[in-house]
Structure 1
Protein backbone atom coordinates (compact mmCIF):
# COMPACT_ATOMS: atom_id res chain seq x y z
CA UNK A 1 0.00 0.00 0.00
CA UNK A 2 1.10 3.52 -0.73
CA UNK A 3 -0.31 6.55 1.06
CA UNK A 4 0.01 10.08 -0.17
CA UNK A 5 -1.33 13.39 1.05
CA UNK A 6 -1.64 16.71 -0.69
CA UNK A 7 -3.41 20.03 -0.34
CA UNK A 8 -5.13 22.08 -2.95
CA UNK A 9 -5.15 25.72 -1.90
CA UNK A 10 -7.64 28.25 -3.24
CA UNK A 11 -7.32 32.01 -3.20
CA UNK A 12 -10.47 33.97 -2.52
CA UNK A 13 -12.59 34.22 -5.67
CA UNK A 14 -11.10 31.11 -7.33
CA UNK A 15 -14.01 28.79 -6.45
CA UNK A 16 -17.54 29.60 -5.21
CA UNK A 17 -17.64 26.68 -2.76
CA UNK A 18 -14.19 27.32 -1.34
CA UNK A 19 -15.11 30.99 -0.95
CA UNK A 20 -17.56 29.86 1.75
CA UNK A 21 -14.69 28.31 3.70
CA UNK A 22 -12.78 31.60 3.39
CA UNK A 23 -15.80 33.53 4.63
CA UNK A 24 -16.62 31.12 7.48
CA UNK A 25 -13.34 29.87 9.01
CA UNK A 26 -15.08 27.30 11.25
CA UNK A 27 -16.96 25.67 8.36
CA UNK A 28 -15.63 22.16 7.71
CA UNK A 29 -16.53 19.56 5.07
CA UNK A 30 -15.32 15.97 5.53
CA UNK A 31 -15.68 13.11 3.11
CA UNK A 32 -17.02 9.86 4.57
CA UNK A 33 -16.99 7.78 1.38
CA UNK A 34 -15.92 8.34 -2.19
CA UNK A 35 -16.19 5.68 -4.86
CA UNK A 36 -15.10 6.28 -8.44
CA UNK A 37 -15.45 4.20 -11.57
CA UNK A 38 -14.46 5.04 -15.13
CA UNK A 39 -17.57 7.13 -15.63
CA UNK A 40 -19.22 7.86 -12.27
CA UNK A 41 -18.51 9.05 -8.74
CA UNK A 42 -20.49 8.59 -5.50
CA UNK A 43 -19.71 10.53 -2.34
CA UNK A 44 -21.05 11.03 1.14
CA UNK A 45 -19.90 14.25 2.79
CA UNK A 46 -20.56 15.82 6.17
CA UNK A 47 -20.39 19.58 6.68
CA UNK A 48 -20.66 21.46 9.95
CA UNK A 49 -20.35 25.08 10.94
CA UNK A 50 -22.36 28.16 11.85
CA UNK A 51 -26.05 28.10 10.92
CA UNK A 52 -25.69 30.97 8.41
CA UNK A 53 -22.73 29.18 6.81
CA UNK A 54 -24.80 26.01 6.40
CA UNK A 55 -27.57 27.98 4.66
CA UNK A 56 -25.00 29.48 2.27
CA UNK A 57 -23.47 26.01 1.79
CA UNK A 58 -26.86 24.60 0.73
CA UNK A 59 -27.23 27.27 -1.95
CA UNK A 60 -23.81 26.58 -3.48
CA UNK A 61 -23.25 22.86 -2.85
CA UNK A 62 -26.73 21.52 -3.66
CA UNK A 63 -26.98 23.22 -7.06
CA UNK A 64 -27.43 20.39 -9.64
CA UNK A 65 -26.04 22.70 -12.35
CA UNK A 66 -22.65 23.12 -10.67
CA UNK A 67 -19.89 20.67 -9.94
CA UNK A 68 -18.29 20.95 -6.50
CA UNK A 69 -15.17 19.05 -7.48
CA UNK A 70 -13.77 20.78 -10.53
CA UNK A 71 -10.23 22.20 -10.45
CA UNK A 72 -10.26 24.25 -13.64
CA UNK A 73 -12.45 27.06 -14.95
CA UNK A 74 -14.45 24.76 -17.27
CA UNK A 75 -16.28 22.80 -14.58
CA UNK A 76 -17.15 19.15 -15.03
CA UNK A 77 -19.32 17.64 -17.66
CA UNK A 78 -21.98 15.14 -16.74
CA UNK A 79 -24.93 15.19 -14.43
CA UNK A 80 -25.10 15.56 -10.67
CA UNK A 81 -27.67 14.56 -8.11
CA UNK A 82 -27.55 15.58 -4.47
CA UNK A 83 -29.60 14.17 -1.62
CA UNK A 84 -29.45 15.49 1.93
CA UNK A 85 -29.30 12.44 4.21
CA UNK A 86 -29.25 14.37 7.48
CA UNK A 87 -30.31 17.98 7.97
CA UNK A 88 -29.51 19.82 11.21
CA UNK A 89 -29.33 23.58 11.78
CA UNK A 90 -25.53 23.55 11.92
CA UNK A 91 -24.75 20.43 9.85
CA UNK A 92 -25.62 18.44 6.75
CA UNK A 93 -24.77 14.97 5.47
CA UNK A 94 -25.03 14.87 1.69
CA UNK A 95 -24.98 12.03 -0.84
CA UNK A 96 -23.70 13.01 -4.30
CA UNK A 97 -23.95 10.97 -7.48
CA UNK A 98 -22.03 12.37 -10.43
CA UNK A 99 -22.46 10.51 -13.75
CA UNK A 100 -20.49 10.90 -16.99
CA UNK A 101 -17.27 12.14 -15.40
CA UNK A 102 -15.12 11.15 -18.38
CA UNK A 103 -14.00 14.77 -18.89
CA UNK A 104 -14.01 15.77 -15.24
CA UNK A 105 -11.05 17.58 -13.70
CA UNK A 106 -11.84 16.34 -10.19
CA UNK A 107 -9.23 14.83 -7.88
CA UNK A 108 -10.95 11.42 -7.47
CA UNK A 109 -11.44 11.04 -11.23
CA UNK A 110 -7.86 12.03 -12.07
CA UNK A 111 -6.35 9.78 -9.37
CA UNK A 112 -8.52 6.79 -10.35
CA UNK A 113 -7.71 7.29 -14.04
CA UNK A 114 -4.00 7.18 -13.19
CA UNK A 115 -3.93 4.43 -10.54
CA UNK A 116 -6.97 2.32 -11.37
CA UNK A 117 -9.40 0.55 -9.04
CA UNK A 118 -8.93 0.09 -5.31
CA UNK A 119 -8.10 3.68 -4.35
CA UNK A 120 -9.42 4.95 -1.02
CA UNK A 121 -9.98 8.69 -0.55
CA UNK A 122 -10.29 10.87 2.51
CA UNK A 123 -10.72 14.62 2.19
CA UNK A 124 -11.45 17.70 4.23
CA UNK A 125 -12.15 21.32 3.30
CA UNK A 126 -11.38 24.11 5.73
CA UNK A 127 -10.27 27.72 5.22
CA UNK A 128 -8.51 27.94 1.88
CA UNK A 129 -7.46 24.28 1.79
CA UNK A 130 -8.92 21.12 0.29
CA UNK A 131 -6.78 18.41 1.92
CA UNK A 132 -6.60 14.89 0.44
CA UNK A 133 -5.29 11.60 1.82
CA UNK A 134 -5.17 8.75 -0.65
CA UNK A 135 -4.44 5.09 -0.04
CA UNK A 136 -3.37 3.27 -3.19
CA UNK A 137 -2.90 -0.45 -3.80
CA UNK A 138 -0.33 0.35 -6.51
CA UNK A 139 3.37 1.03 -5.96
CA UNK A 140 4.09 3.44 -8.79
CA UNK A 141 5.73 6.81 -9.34
CA UNK A 142 3.33 9.57 -8.43
CA UNK A 143 5.20 12.35 -10.24
CA UNK A 144 3.08 11.98 -13.42
CA UNK A 145 -0.09 12.04 -11.32
CA UNK A 146 0.93 15.24 -9.54
CA UNK A 147 1.95 16.75 -12.89
CA UNK A 148 -1.52 15.91 -14.24
CA UNK A 149 -3.24 17.39 -11.18
CA UNK A 150 -1.14 20.53 -11.37
CA UNK A 151 -1.81 20.95 -15.09
CA UNK A 152 -5.58 21.01 -14.47
CA UNK A 153 -5.52 23.72 -11.80
CA UNK A 154 -7.27 26.95 -12.66
CA UNK A 155 -6.23 30.46 -11.75
CA UNK A 156 -5.85 30.97 -8.00
CA UNK A 157 -5.47 27.26 -7.25
CA UNK A 158 -2.22 25.65 -6.06
CA UNK A 159 -1.09 22.07 -5.30
CA UNK A 160 1.17 21.24 -2.33
CA UNK A 161 2.36 17.65 -1.76
CA UNK A 162 2.57 16.83 1.96
CA UNK A 163 3.46 13.16 2.36
CA UNK A 164 4.44 10.15 0.28
CA UNK A 165 4.93 6.81 1.97
CA UNK A 166 3.42 3.50 2.94
CA UNK A 167 -0.02 3.06 4.43
CA UNK A 168 1.13 2.22 7.94
CA UNK A 169 0.86 5.86 9.13
CA UNK A 170 -2.86 5.67 8.40
CA UNK A 171 -3.57 3.65 11.58
CA UNK A 172 -2.80 6.69 13.72
CA UNK A 173 -5.17 8.90 11.70
CA UNK A 174 -8.37 6.87 11.74
CA UNK A 175 -11.14 8.94 13.28
CA UNK A 176 -14.92 8.93 13.03
CA UNK A 177 -16.14 10.95 10.05
CA UNK A 178 -19.47 11.85 11.58
CA UNK A 179 -19.83 13.40 15.02
CA UNK A 180 -21.35 11.20 17.69
Structure 2
Protein backbone atom coordinates (compact mmCIF):
# COMPACT_ATOMS: atom_id res chain seq x y z
CA UNK A 1 0.00 0.00 0.00
CA UNK A 2 1.05 3.57 -0.68
CA UNK A 3 -0.04 6.94 0.64
CA UNK A 4 -0.61 10.38 -0.82
CA UNK A 5 -0.83 13.47 1.37
CA UNK A 6 -1.74 16.76 -0.25
CA UNK A 7 -3.61 19.94 0.56
CA UNK A 8 -6.06 22.23 -1.18
CA UNK A 9 -5.90 25.92 -0.23
CA UNK A 10 -9.31 27.36 -1.20
CA UNK A 11 -9.60 30.85 -2.59
CA UNK A 12 -12.25 33.06 -0.95
CA UNK A 13 -15.79 32.61 -2.24
CA UNK A 14 -15.43 29.12 -3.72
CA UNK A 15 -16.16 26.91 -0.71
CA UNK A 16 -18.50 28.03 2.05
CA UNK A 17 -17.04 25.67 4.65
CA UNK A 18 -13.52 27.00 3.97
CA UNK A 19 -14.80 30.59 4.15
CA UNK A 20 -16.46 29.85 7.49
CA UNK A 21 -13.37 28.17 8.93
CA UNK A 22 -11.29 31.17 7.86
CA UNK A 23 -13.56 33.32 10.04
CA UNK A 24 -12.97 30.98 13.00
CA UNK A 25 -9.20 30.21 13.08
CA UNK A 26 -9.45 28.02 16.18
CA UNK A 27 -12.05 25.67 14.67
CA UNK A 28 -11.10 22.29 13.15
CA UNK A 29 -12.86 19.60 11.15
CA UNK A 30 -11.53 16.05 10.81
CA UNK A 31 -13.14 13.08 9.15
CA UNK A 32 -14.12 10.12 11.29
CA UNK A 33 -15.26 8.05 8.30
CA UNK A 34 -15.46 8.59 4.54
CA UNK A 35 -16.71 6.16 1.88
CA UNK A 36 -17.44 6.62 -1.81
CA UNK A 37 -18.98 4.58 -4.62
CA UNK A 38 -19.19 5.57 -8.27
CA UNK A 39 -22.10 7.97 -7.68
CA UNK A 40 -22.48 8.33 -3.89
CA UNK A 41 -20.43 9.60 -0.96
CA UNK A 42 -20.99 9.19 2.77
CA UNK A 43 -18.92 10.79 5.52
CA UNK A 44 -18.93 11.56 9.25
CA UNK A 45 -16.99 14.62 10.45
CA UNK A 46 -15.94 15.78 13.91
CA UNK A 47 -15.88 19.55 14.38
CA UNK A 48 -14.23 21.34 17.31
CA UNK A 49 -14.35 25.02 18.18
CA UNK A 50 -16.30 27.69 20.00
CA UNK A 51 -20.10 27.60 20.17
CA UNK A 52 -20.30 30.41 17.60
CA UNK A 53 -17.93 28.56 15.26
CA UNK A 54 -19.95 25.36 15.54
CA UNK A 55 -23.16 27.22 14.71
CA UNK A 56 -21.62 28.81 11.62
CA UNK A 57 -20.00 25.57 10.42
CA UNK A 58 -23.25 23.67 10.92
CA UNK A 59 -25.08 26.29 8.85
CA UNK A 60 -22.38 26.13 6.17
CA UNK A 61 -23.01 22.41 5.78
CA UNK A 62 -26.79 22.57 6.05
CA UNK A 63 -27.50 25.67 3.97
CA UNK A 64 -24.79 25.63 1.29
CA UNK A 65 -25.94 25.82 -2.32
CA UNK A 66 -24.16 22.55 -3.10
CA UNK A 67 -22.13 19.88 -1.35
CA UNK A 68 -18.90 21.23 0.17
CA UNK A 69 -16.72 18.42 -1.23
CA UNK A 70 -17.90 18.98 -4.81
CA UNK A 71 -15.19 20.63 -6.90
CA UNK A 72 -17.70 22.17 -9.29
CA UNK A 73 -17.86 25.96 -8.97
CA UNK A 74 -21.62 26.06 -9.67
CA UNK A 75 -24.58 24.03 -8.49
CA UNK A 76 -24.32 20.74 -10.39
CA UNK A 77 -27.74 19.33 -9.51
CA UNK A 78 -26.50 16.79 -6.98
CA UNK A 79 -28.61 15.70 -4.01
CA UNK A 80 -27.08 16.17 -0.57
CA UNK A 81 -28.21 15.67 3.01
CA UNK A 82 -26.41 16.62 6.22
CA UNK A 83 -27.58 15.71 9.72
CA UNK A 84 -26.26 16.63 13.15
CA UNK A 85 -25.44 13.40 15.01
CA UNK A 86 -24.10 14.96 18.22
CA UNK A 87 -23.51 18.41 19.70
CA UNK A 88 -21.78 19.60 22.87
CA UNK A 89 -20.50 23.04 23.89
CA UNK A 90 -17.31 22.67 21.85
CA UNK A 91 -17.81 19.70 19.49
CA UNK A 92 -20.13 18.81 16.65
CA UNK A 93 -20.53 15.55 14.72
CA UNK A 94 -22.04 15.72 11.23
CA UNK A 95 -23.24 12.94 8.93
CA UNK A 96 -23.39 13.81 5.22
CA UNK A 97 -24.58 11.92 2.14
CA UNK A 98 -24.14 13.06 -1.45
CA UNK A 99 -25.59 11.64 -4.66
CA UNK A 100 -23.57 13.13 -7.49
CA UNK A 101 -24.45 13.91 -11.10
CA UNK A 102 -22.24 13.42 -14.20
CA UNK A 103 -21.03 17.02 -13.92
CA UNK A 104 -19.87 16.65 -10.29
CA UNK A 105 -16.29 15.98 -9.26
CA UNK A 106 -14.68 15.28 -5.88
CA UNK A 107 -11.38 14.00 -4.52
CA UNK A 108 -12.81 10.57 -3.53
CA UNK A 109 -14.43 9.99 -6.93
CA UNK A 110 -11.35 11.06 -8.88
CA UNK A 111 -9.31 8.77 -6.60
CA UNK A 112 -11.60 5.81 -7.33
CA UNK A 113 -11.21 6.38 -11.06
CA UNK A 114 -7.41 6.38 -10.96
CA UNK A 115 -6.38 4.55 -7.78
CA UNK A 116 -9.03 1.81 -7.60
CA UNK A 117 -11.82 0.86 -5.22
CA UNK A 118 -9.69 0.12 -2.17
CA UNK A 119 -8.78 3.71 -1.28
CA UNK A 120 -8.96 4.93 2.33
CA UNK A 121 -9.43 8.63 3.06
CA UNK A 122 -8.52 10.85 5.99
CA UNK A 123 -9.15 14.60 5.97
CA UNK A 124 -8.45 17.66 8.11
CA UNK A 125 -9.86 21.18 7.60
CA UNK A 126 -8.22 24.23 9.18
CA UNK A 127 -8.96 27.67 7.79
CA UNK A 128 -8.88 27.49 4.01
CA UNK A 129 -6.44 24.57 4.23
CA UNK A 130 -8.01 21.18 3.41
CA UNK A 131 -5.54 18.31 3.88
CA UNK A 132 -6.19 14.86 2.36
CA UNK A 133 -4.39 11.63 3.23
CA UNK A 134 -5.10 8.73 0.87
CA UNK A 135 -4.03 5.10 1.33
CA UNK A 136 -4.22 3.22 -1.98
CA UNK A 137 -3.02 0.03 -3.73
CA UNK A 138 0.46 0.02 -5.26
CA UNK A 139 -0.85 -0.22 -8.82
CA UNK A 140 -2.78 3.08 -8.78
CA UNK A 141 -2.26 5.72 -11.47
CA UNK A 142 -0.96 8.56 -9.27
CA UNK A 143 0.01 10.79 -12.21
CA UNK A 144 -3.45 10.43 -13.76
CA UNK A 145 -5.06 11.18 -10.40
CA UNK A 146 -3.20 14.45 -9.92
CA UNK A 147 -3.64 15.54 -13.54
CA UNK A 148 -7.41 15.03 -13.30
CA UNK A 149 -7.59 16.61 -9.84
CA UNK A 150 -5.63 19.65 -11.01
CA UNK A 151 -8.07 20.14 -13.87
CA UNK A 152 -11.09 19.73 -11.60
CA UNK A 153 -9.75 22.15 -8.97
CA UNK A 154 -9.08 24.86 -11.55
CA UNK A 155 -8.96 28.35 -10.07
CA UNK A 156 -10.91 27.57 -6.89
CA UNK A 157 -7.90 26.30 -4.92
CA UNK A 158 -4.14 25.91 -4.90
CA UNK A 159 -2.88 22.34 -4.63
CA UNK A 160 0.21 21.40 -2.60
CA UNK A 161 1.86 17.97 -2.46
CA UNK A 162 2.97 17.12 1.08
CA UNK A 163 4.07 13.48 0.89
CA UNK A 164 3.90 10.41 -1.33
CA UNK A 165 5.44 6.97 -0.93
CA UNK A 166 5.11 3.71 0.92
CA UNK A 167 2.65 3.72 3.80
CA UNK A 168 4.51 4.26 7.05
CA UNK A 169 3.24 1.87 9.72
CA UNK A 170 1.81 3.67 12.71
CA UNK A 171 1.44 7.09 11.13
CA UNK A 172 -1.96 8.71 11.16
CA UNK A 173 -1.40 12.37 10.45
CA UNK A 174 -0.03 14.66 7.82
CA UNK A 175 3.59 13.71 8.54
CA UNK A 176 5.43 10.94 10.38
CA UNK A 177 5.35 11.39 14.15
CA UNK A 178 8.03 13.80 15.30
CA UNK A 179 9.14 14.81 11.80
CA UNK A 180 8.57 18.10 10.00
CA UNK A 181 7.76 18.28 6.32
CA UNK A 182 10.15 20.40 4.19
CA UNK A 183 7.45 23.08 3.95
CA UNK A 184 7.01 23.18 7.72
CA UNK A 185 10.78 23.28 8.24
CA UNK A 186 11.09 26.24 5.84
CA UNK A 187 8.20 28.10 7.48
CA UNK A 188 9.60 27.56 10.97
CA UNK A 189 13.11 28.62 9.93
CA UNK A 190 11.77 31.79 8.28
CA UNK A 191 9.68 32.59 11.35
CA UNK A 192 12.72 32.35 13.61
CA UNK A 193 15.01 34.29 11.27
CA UNK A 194 12.53 37.16 10.86
CA UNK A 195 11.70 37.49 14.57
CA UNK A 196 8.22 35.99 14.60
CA UNK A 197 8.96 34.25 17.90
CA UNK A 198 10.64 37.25 19.53
CA UNK A 199 8.83 39.13 22.32
CA UNK A 200 7.58 41.52 21.16
CA UNK A 201 7.30 40.07 17.67
CA UNK A 202 9.38 41.74 14.97
CA UNK A 203 7.05 40.54 12.18
CA UNK A 204 3.44 39.41 12.10
CA UNK A 205 2.16 36.33 10.30
CA UNK A 206 0.65 38.38 7.46
CA UNK A 207 3.94 40.13 6.62
CA UNK A 208 5.85 36.85 6.94
CA UNK A 209 3.42 35.17 4.57
CA UNK A 210 3.89 38.02 2.08
CA UNK A 211 7.66 37.62 2.35
CA UNK A 212 7.39 33.88 1.63
CA UNK A 213 4.82 34.52 -1.13
CA UNK A 214 2.29 32.07 0.30
CA UNK A 215 -1.25 32.60 1.64
CA UNK A 216 -1.49 33.66 5.28
CA UNK A 217 -3.66 30.64 6.13
CA UNK A 218 -1.09 28.27 4.58
CA UNK A 219 1.72 29.75 6.69
CA UNK A 220 -0.44 29.64 9.83
CA UNK A 221 -1.26 25.99 9.15
CA UNK A 222 2.39 25.03 8.59
CA UNK A 223 3.58 26.80 11.73
CA UNK A 224 0.80 25.29 13.83
CA UNK A 225 1.57 21.77 12.62
CA UNK A 226 5.32 22.29 13.13
CA UNK A 227 4.73 23.61 16.66
CA UNK A 228 2.49 20.62 17.39
CA UNK A 229 5.18 18.17 16.28
CA UNK A 230 7.91 19.94 18.27
CA UNK A 231 5.72 20.09 21.39
CA UNK A 232 4.94 16.37 21.16
CA UNK A 233 8.62 15.59 20.61
CA UNK A 234 9.59 17.67 23.66
CA UNK A 235 6.99 16.08 25.95
CA UNK A 236 7.86 12.57 24.77
CA UNK A 237 11.56 13.24 25.33
CA UNK A 238 10.89 14.65 28.80
CA UNK A 239 8.80 11.62 29.76
CA UNK A 240 11.50 9.25 28.54
CA UNK A 241 14.13 11.11 30.57
CA UNK A 242 11.96 11.06 33.70
CA UNK A 243 11.30 7.34 33.35
CA UNK A 244 14.90 6.37 32.59
CA UNK A 245 16.40 4.07 35.24
CA UNK A 246 18.98 5.62 37.56
CA UNK A 247 22.54 4.36 37.19
Which residue is equivalent to 1:52? 52
Structure 1 residues 78 and 13 mapped into 2: Cα distance closer, same or farther (>3 Å)?
A: closer
Structure 1 gap segments, 5+ residues each: 175-180
Specify the structure having the higher radius of gyration (Cα).
Answer: 2
- Assess if the C-alpha contact under 8 Å between 1:48 and 1:92 holds in 2: yes
Aligned residues: 173
Which residue is equivalent to 1:88? 88
- Assess if the C-alpha contact under 8 Å between 1:73 and 1:154 holds in 2: no
C-alpha separation in 2, matches of 1:160 and 1:137 = 22
More strand by share: 1
Which residue is equivalent to 2:243? none
Structure 2 gap segments, 5+ residues each: 174-247
1:20-169, aligned counterparts within 5 Å? 20-63=20-63, 65-167=65-167, 169=168
C-alpha separation in 1, matches of 2:125 and 2:27 = 8
1:11 shift after superposition: 2.6
Q: Which has the higher contact order (CA 8 A, sep 6+)?
A: 1
Structure 1 residues 36-81: Cα deviation after superposition (integer angstroms, max 9, x where no partner) = 1111111011111111111111111123752111223124442111
More helix by share: 2
C-alpha separation in 2, matches of 1:100 and 1:109 = 10
Structure 1 residues 66 and 141 mapped into 2: Cα distance closer, same or farther (>3 Å)?
A: closer
- Assess if the C-alpha contact under 8 Å between 1:45 and 1:94 holds in 2: yes
C-alpha separation in 2, matches of 1:65 and 1:127 = 20
C-alpha separation in 2, matches of 1:64 and 1:42 = 17
Which residue is equivalent to 1:171? 170
TM-score, normalization: structure 1?
0.88
- The alignment yields a C-alpha RMSD, in angstroms, of 1.8
C-alpha separation in 2, matches of 1:164 and 1:68 = 25
